[in-house]
């Protein structure tokens, strides 16, 4: 890769680094796994960058590679964890914070318990990607995206109302 | 407003504070500039490519072998059994090479995952049947190699009882092998390799891979 290509790559990755971190967090349960995954994602992006078409949207290209690497890597490491295990893995046992923080923790647990592809869909939605871009990244129709988001919202609402009753 | 939408801002804000991976990012980007890191989604491609080449060579060799022993029915039957096994292995390897070569890491996630799971399923299927059938293929292999390498006709040299006993041991080796694997994995339970081998032979890994494929297919399908 040329020096200017390297600089462009580093700048683009820094711009979208937050989402890469979220992906590593969503697919790696332990700190070591997250670090390995983050490194693997960056490596694959780097290797693929020379074939990236600059006329296309970088974020779509980046999400596809990052999610493909993350899902494959998490499948290799272990099968989809049962919800309780995923929830435990996603909850580092921090002291309870504000109500909003508790709800965020519930959201993290819900995301961690989802199958890998639905997890990808929620991550993209939370990153405020349009339904069109989510559909492009995942390779499904926009109506499929819309229906699945609606159902996940419903699940989250149910989960939070149960937790609300329990507390 | 919905819970999920309300939490979006907080989620994004929290992402900014997840700094633990930033150091990795800096180190990785520095290492990448010196081309010190490897790994690929196509990491499985080299093994099927080798199997494909080996399978083709084995088939060509077996055709020649069979032509040379047409007067000896047992050797012909052994050669044909090995040829069929090599043919199936070659076809499976060719499919794996095709799938691995056509995986585009920048492709739509559901499609790429479907291909990778197909690849994994094929690999597990091939591993399982190779492990299960190898005790049975041992006898024809011994007959063929005995003749080809040492010019010995094992059927005449050691007689039918030896060959039949060999075949019987081959059959018995399958359940005994499974039991030995179970015992070994209990004893060395911490070893991931033992566990994986046991799961592969028992078909549990294959069943999981098939479930993953079904899960991906359901995801791609428009929900009812």
Range of the domain at A47: 3-166
Which DSSP category does A140 fall into? S
B residues 95..124 contacting A (CB < 8 A) = 105-113, 116-117, 120
Structure tokens belonging to residue A60: 């779509």
CA B147 to each of CA B54, B68, B83, B141: distance values in angstroms, whole numbers, following the listed order: 20, 11, 16, 10
Q: How many domains does chain A have?
A: 1
Contact B105 A138 (CB under 8 A): no
Greater confidence, B86 or A79?
A: B86
Q: Searching chain A, which residue's CA lies closest to the CA of residue B223?
A: A144
Label residue A102 exposed, middle or buried (CB < 10 Å: 0-12, 13-18, 19+).
middle
Q: What is the pLDDT of residues B183-202, one digit of tens each?
A: 776 666 656 666 667 677 67
- Residue range A47-66: average pLDDT? 89
Contact A157 B3 (CB under 8 A): yes
- Tell me the ipTM for this assembly: 0.82
Spell B13-52 as b/e; 16+ CB within 10 A means b.
Answer: ebbeeeeebeebbeebbeebeeeeeeebbeebbeebbebb
Q: What percent of chain A has pLDDT over 90?
A: 26
pLDDT at B13 over 80: no
Q: What is the pLDDT of residues B44-75, one digit of tens each?
A: 567 888 989 999 999 999 999 999 998 888 89
Contact A104 B29 (CB under 8 A): no
Contact B11 A126 (CB under 8 A): yes
pLDDT at A86 over 60: no
> Which chain B positions have a beta carbon within 8 Å of A77's beta carbon?
none
Greater confidence, A115 or B171?
A: A115
- Distance from A139 to chain B by nearest Cα, in Å? 5
């Amino acid at each position: 890769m040329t020096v200017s290509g390297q600089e462009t790559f580093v700048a683009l990755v820094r711009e979208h680094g937050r989402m890469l971190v979220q992906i590593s967090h969503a697919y790696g349960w332990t700190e070591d796994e997250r670090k390995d995954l983050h490194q693997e994602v960056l490596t694959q992006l780097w290797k693929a960058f020379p074939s990236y078409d600059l006329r296309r949207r970088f974020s779509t290209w980046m999400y596809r590679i990052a999610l493909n690497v993350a899902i494959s890597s998490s499948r290799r490491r272990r099968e989809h964890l049962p919800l309780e295990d995923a929830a435990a893995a996603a909850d580092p046992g921090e002291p309870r914070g504000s109500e909003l923080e508790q709800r965020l923790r519930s959201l993290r647990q819900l995301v961690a318990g989802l199958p890998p592809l639905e997890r990808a869909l929620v991550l993209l939605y939370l990153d405020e990607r349009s339904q069109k871009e989510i559909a492009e990244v995942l390779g499904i129709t926009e109506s499929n995206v819309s229906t699945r988001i609606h159902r996940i919202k419903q699940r989250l609402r149910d989960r939070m109302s149960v937790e609300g009753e329990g507390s | 407003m919905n819970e999920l939408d309300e939490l979006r801002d907080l989620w994004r804000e929290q992402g900014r504070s997840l700094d633990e991976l930033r150091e990795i990012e800096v180190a990785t980007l520095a290492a990448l500039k010196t081309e010190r890191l490897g790994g690929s989604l196509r990491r499985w491609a080299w093994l099927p490519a080798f199997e494909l080449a080996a399978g083709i060579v084995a088939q060509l060799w077996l055709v020649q072998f069979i032509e040379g022993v047409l007067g000896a029915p047992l050797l012909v039957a052994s050669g044909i059994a090995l040829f069929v096994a090599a043919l199936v292995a070659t076809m499976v390897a060719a499919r794996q090479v095709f799938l691995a070569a056509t995986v585009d890491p920048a492709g739509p996630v559901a499609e790429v995952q479907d291909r990778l799971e197909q690849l994994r399923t094929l690999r597990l299927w091939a591993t399982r049947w190779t492990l299960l059938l190898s005790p049975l293929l041992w006898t024809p292999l011994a007959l063929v190699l005995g003749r080809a390498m040492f010019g010995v006709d094992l059927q005449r040299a050691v007689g039918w009882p030896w060959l039949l006993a060999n075949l019987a041991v081959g059959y018995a080796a399958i359940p005994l092998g499974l039991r030995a694997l179970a015992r070994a994995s209990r004893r060395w339970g911490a070893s991931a390799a033992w566990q994986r081998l046991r799961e592969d032979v028992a078909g549990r890994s294959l069943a999981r891979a098939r479930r993953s494929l079904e899960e991906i297919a359901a995801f791609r399908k428009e929900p009812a």
